[in-house]
Each structure stands twice: as structure tokens, then as C-alpha cells.
Chain A
Amino acid sequence: MDPRVLEAMLPYFTEHYGNAASRNHPFGWEAEEAVDYAREQVAKLIGADPKEIIFTSGATESDNLAIKGVFEMYASKGNHIITVSTEHKAVIDTCKHIEKLGGEVTTLEVNAEGLIDLKELEAAIKPTTILVAIMYANNEIGVIQPMREISAIARKHGVLVFTDGTQAVGKIPVDVNKDGIDLMAFTAHKMYGPKGVGALYVRRKNPRVKVTAQMDGGGHERGMRSGTLNVPGIVGFGKACEICMLEMEEEAIRLSKLRDKLENALLQLEEAYVNGSRDHRLPHVSNISFKYVEGEGLLMGFNKNIALSSGSACTSASLEPSYVLKALGLGDDLAHSSLRFGLGRFTNEEQIDYTIKAISETVLKLREMSPLWEMYKEGIDLNTIEWAHH
């Protein structure tokens, strides 16, 4: 978290402890004012009106509220939702839930770059389609979908556009009006704010969008999300948005330079490949497969000092590697060999240099230990071997 965010939050744990919904005393007013101010800060970052911001507990709740809320609210119009195979689980699993409720879901595939085909999107729209749910930028590979083209197609057919903007908001310019977004989920902790607070943007004009509340209660947040507001969290979210608004542009330039330095250095290794589009991508994300080395084993070489994640999932009960990488057409072997890099506000050049060195050394060491690398070097085609699948 950004220390400036913490500083803004602290008074709301102590001297300003009022409930924003208490209308009868100054403590409540103070809290309400603070929430209103944060709502303006959040709205401003995405070009929205403050009245269009619904505070939630995070992006997962916002994803659920948007998709289930639209499905219920627009039931008389139709029951068909279009989404994409590389969405976050919070969207994929919510869509599965919609199917159980009798809804119909079309899941679009992506190409090797991780991008959807706009013609396929348009062809998938039916008279019963009520929502297109496509993430702004992917959490594993950072690939940015063409939101403006997507929303233009949806609009033409009178279909609402929901996007999970968790990875994009605060990192690249996102404007709900220019981008034609009707609903958007995003969260504070991805932009150096606190965990446990997020928002759903719900358009109020052209068209006016409504979602059915998914939690019953006191009717907070204009009836769309009941529950006492997390005032310190919301204040922190607002501050985080304000900082992003001011610093995002410069930060993106700085991080993309560092990311490119890291990526280009690691691509010097033999048999290393970037996953997903390098052109349509967030500035701070990189996903690289180091063939013939297993990702989790690789992480172990430096996870004391560098926090990364792998597309390999040796620890999960399923042993299934990343579904996002598989959606790009990667074989399971390459998906198991992947690392996801996320650079941030507090990443500096020294850390990048350290990372390049640590990863390069570990890859070389593990390849010396890898039977697959030895076979590759001997010119054996691994596809011709009968593996004991377990």
C-alpha cells in the first residue's frame, strides 16, 4: 500500500469513527462527507459521475453484483450473456452460476495473442443477449482487449457492456464514456489502496442502467449494495485513485521501460517466450515461459527475495496449469514453465537487475537438472516419447 493512502485512512479509524449512514450527529456527517469526497476521487479517475459509483468489498463482489444483478434486472429482455475464456474466475464462475439459474452463456475464445475476434463477438449477439462481460486487461498476461470496438458493437445491438477493470484502472487511462462502458468492476488494492474495498461503476445516463441488489438490507448505495460502509477503506480507495490520477502517466512510462528491460534480458535465454500480445498490453506486466523448466521449481530459486507467481499449479489439487495460457493455445508443458511478472510503484531498477540475474542463473541451473532439456539438446522430439500420464 502507498504510505500516503495509509496516512489518509488513519484518522478514520480513530477520531473520525462515525457511521456514514448516521444522519443525526456530526460524527455521521463527517464520515458521510469523507465517503462523498472519496466517491468523487474514484469517479474522477474513470471519468464517471460520483453517483455512478457503488462501493463494495472488492472486485469479486462487484463482478458478482454486475452479472447477477443485470441477469435479474433484465430478465424480461433476455437471458443471454457473452463472455471470454480468459476472464478472471470471479466472472467465469459467476457466469456458470447464471447457467444454473437458466441463463445462457457464450464464451468467446481468444487468439494466440490473447485477443478476442470482434467478428465473433458480433456474430454471438442474439435478440436475447443482455450483457457482454469482457475484462479490460487480463490479470495473468496483461493483454488489453479493444474496449471501444467491443462497446461500439454491443451498443449497436442494444446490449449492455460490463468490464472487469481491476487490472487496468489506475494503470492506464480508463474512461467509461469514451470507452462506452456501462458497468465496471475495480478494486483499491490493485492501485496501492487497502484490501477489502472496491467499486462497481453503474451508468446512470444513456442508457440508465440498474442492477438488482444481491444482498438485502438497509438499502445503502442507492439500494444496490446494502451494508455499513467501510469508511476508512473507502477514504483510502479515494486517495489511491487521486494518486493514480496524478502519477499514472509517468508511472506507466517508467514501469514499461523497466518491464521491457527485464523482458529483453530474460529473452536472451534460449527457449524463452513471452505469452500474449506484446503490443496490446499493460505497461507493468510480463508473462514468460522458460521451456523445459517447471515454473514452481523456478520460483523456489528466488522466492525469498522476489514475489512472483507461476502458471504452473503443482500445489493445487487439480494439477491443472493456467487456463488463461491454455486459452492462448499453449501446451500444458509451456504453461507449466511460465512465470508472471508484475512491476509496481515500488519496483526500482536495482530490483530488476537483481531479478534478471537470479532468474537467469536459476533457469540455467534447473536446465542442467532437467531431463527434458537434455533430450531437447540431443535433438529428441519430446512429442514422440510415450509419457506415463498420471
Chain B
Amino acid sequence: MAYSEKVIDHYQNPKNVGTLDKGAKNVGTGLVGAPECGDVMRLQIEVDESTGVIKDAKFKTFGCGSAIASSSLATEWLKGKSVDEALKIDNMDIVEELNLPPVKIHCSVLAEDAIKAAINDYRVKNGMEAIKFEDSVVH
């Protein structure tokens, strides 16, 4: 099975690799997956507190090329969105954008989970309630 060009591009030139200060009040961190399962994603958002817009997003991922590409793409999409808009990112959008084959759909689910986990971390830090999400279906 060959990787799509977009996956290869994100793998070779990943966008927004890095680490934000997870102690900062306006930074939300989501860590999902498990080393035993072969993929772990850490996705972080930095929110502009006056506007509620995500001004920066960073990721680090342990996983296959599709997992790396899914998280790289997610950070690109997050930047400039409001936190509420970010909640609307659906894993199937990632599947479509990256042409992921069925066996790699779980990588996109993981990226969606990471976004939600980062947003919840930000919410809790800022005195809001964590949103209850349905369990993702694939895992």
C-alpha cells in the first residue's frame, strides 16, 4: 500500500513540531494513545485569552507516517480557529484530506481525540467544565 502524496509531504516536512509550556494557563495539552499500541500523540494549543482564538498549535507524535501526518495537519487546521470552531474538526475530514486508507483511519481518530483532549485541558485550567465526548468508535 503506497502512502498518499500529502501523507508523504507531512511526514517529510511536518508542520508545527514542538512543545508549548504545558504549565501556562492559556495552553491546553492533549496526550492520547499508548506506546504499546504503537502510537502516541501529544497535541497542544495556545489560546489568545482576549479573543478565544488558537494562536499557536504544536505536536509531537510517536507513530507511523499517517499518524504523524494526521497530527501535523491537525495543528495547521487549529491555528486561527476559535476553540469552539476547533471542536468541529472531524476525523473524517482528516481522512479525506490525507487520503488515508481504511487501516489508517484510527490515526485520524487519534488526532481528533488529541484535539478534544487539548481543548478540555484548556477548559479545565480556565474554570470551565470538561466536555463529555462519546468514546471514539475505532479504538
Measured CB to CB, the residues of A under 8 A from B are 292-294, 296-297, 300-301, 312-317, 319, 321, 331-333, 336, 368-374, 382, 385, 387-390
Contacts and interface: CB of A to CB of B under 8 A. Distances in A.
A370 B35 CA distance: 11
Contact of B11 (A300, A316, A382): A300
Contacts of A370: 60-62
Contacts of B64: 294, 296-297, 300, 312, 314-315
Given A300-B11, A372-B40, A374-B19, A336 B35 contact: yes
A313 B104 CA distance: 11
B34 interface: yes
B33 A332 contact: no
B33 A390 contact: yes
A315 B106 CA distance: 10
A294 B62 CA distance: 6
Given A300-B11, A312-B38, A336-B35, A368 B17 contact: yes
A336 B34 CA distance: 11
Contacts of A315: 1, 64, 103-104
Given A319-B37, A388-B33, A389-B34, A294 B11 contact: no
Given A317-B103, A371-B42, A292 B62 contact: yes
A306 B95 CA distance: 28
Contacts of B34: 387-390
- Identify whether the interface residues of B are mostly helix, strand, loop, or mixed: mixed
A296 B65 contact: yes
A388 B120 CA distance: 15
Interface of B: 1, 3, 8, 11, 14, 17, 19, 31-42, 60-68, 103-104, 106, 110, 113, 136, 138-139
B35 A332 contact: yes
A368 B63 CA distance: 13
Cβ-closest 10 pairs across A and B: A390-B139, A387-B34, A332-B36, A333-B35, A371-B42, A296-B64, A371-B60, A300-B65, A336-B38, A314-B64
A296 B34 CA distance: 16
- Identify whether the interface residues of A are mostly helix, strand, loop, or mixed: loop
A336 to B, nearest CB: 4
B1 A382 contact: no
A313 B110 CA distance: 17
A136 to B, nearest CB: 30
A297 B14 CA distance: 13
Contacts of A369: 14, 17, 60-61, 68
B125 to A, nearest CB: 19
A203 to B, nearest CB: 43
Contacts of A319: 37-38, 106
Contacts of A294: 38-39, 62-64, 67
Contacts of B68: 297, 369
Nearest to A314: B64
Contact of B38 (A314, A373, A374): A314
A98 to B, nearest CB: 31
Contacts of B136: 390
A151 to B, nearest CB: 38
A388 B32 contact: yes
A387 B110 CA distance: 13
Given A300-B65, A373-B62, 11 more contacts: A294-B62, A296-B63, A297-B67, A314-B103, A315-B1, A315-B64, A388-B32, A388-B34, A390-B32, A390-B33, A390-B34
Nearest to B17: A369
22 contacts: A294-B62, A294-B63, A300-B8, A300-B64, A300-B65, A312-B64, A314-B38, A319-B38, A319-B106, A321-B38, A336-B36, A368-B17, A370-B61, A371-B40, A371-B61, A372-B40, A372-B62, A373-B62, A387-B35, A387-B36, A389-B37, A390-B139
Nearest to A316: B103
B103 A371 contact: no
A363 to B, nearest CB: 12
A312 B103 CA distance: 14
Contacts of A321: 38
A382 B35 contact: yes
Given A317-B103, A321-B38, A387 B33 contact: yes
A315 B64 CA distance: 9
Nearest to A385: B31
B60 A374 contact: yes
Nearest to A304: B8
